[in-house]
Amino acid sequence: MTVYAASSHALSSKYFEVAARLGRALAEAGHPIVYGGGGTGLMGAMADAALEAGGEVHGVIPEFLTTLEKGHPGLTSMDVVPSMRIRKEKMLIDSAAVVTLPGGCGTFEEVFEAMTLKRLGQYFGPIVLVNADGYYDKLIEFLEHSVREKFMSQAHLDLWHTVERAEDVPDALETLEPWSADALKFASVDVDDAGASG
C-alpha cells in the first residue's frame, strides 16, 4: 500500500488528524504501508499512528531529504535512495494500491505519475484520493474539465476514486474494480470523440 502525503508541518490540525486516522485504519485493516519515509507533516502523523496501531510501515527517502523531511527513526524499515526518481519507482513496486492524503506539488506529482502509469497500463492498482474537507474538489473539477475538453476520455474518470473520510479507505479498496489489463488500448482519446489524439 503506497501512501502519498505532505511533509509540511505548518498545516491545520484537521489535516494531521486525517493523516493519523488513515494510518490507524490501514494498520487495523492489515495493510503494510510504503511511504516517503519522512517524520514531519502528514507523513509523520500517518506513520506514527500506523505504528502505534501495530502496523508495518516502510519508508523510502532520498539521501538529500533525510535532514529536510527528518527521516522517521521508528519505521519497520527505511530505504535511503539516491534520487526522487528512484524513490517514486520503489514506492510503486509491488504496490497493491495508492492512497493520497492532502499535499502540495510533490504529492501532486506522485499521484499524477501513478495516474499516468495506470492510464498506460503500467500500474493497475486503485488510486484513492482522501478528499478531506473538500481539499481535492478543484483538482477533481479540473480533471473532469480535461475530459470534457477531450484531453482524456470518459473511461479515464475511473483512474481514481475519492473518499471523504480516511476511515473509508480500507472498504473502498475492497470494493473497487481492478483496472483493465487492456488499458493501453484506450490510453488515447478516441479520434471520433476528440478530433485528435489525446
Grid cell, residue 60, equals: 523510502
Q: pLDDT class for 196, splitting at 50, 70, 90?
A: very low
Give percent above pLDDT 90 in the chain.
Answer: 81
Which strand (E) or helix (H) includes residue 59? strand 57-62
Sorted by where each starts, the structural domains of the chain and their CATH numbers stand as: 2-194 (3.40.50.450)
CA distance 89 to 95: 10
Which strand (E) or helix (H) includes residue 35? strand 33-35
pLDDT one-digit tens code per residue, 102-128: 999 999 999 999 999 999 999 999 999
pLDDT at position 192: 55
User: Residue 157 pLDDT more than 90?
Assistant: yes
User: Residue 170 pLDDT more than 80?
Assistant: yes
pLDDT one-digit tens code per residue, 174-184: 999 888 777 77
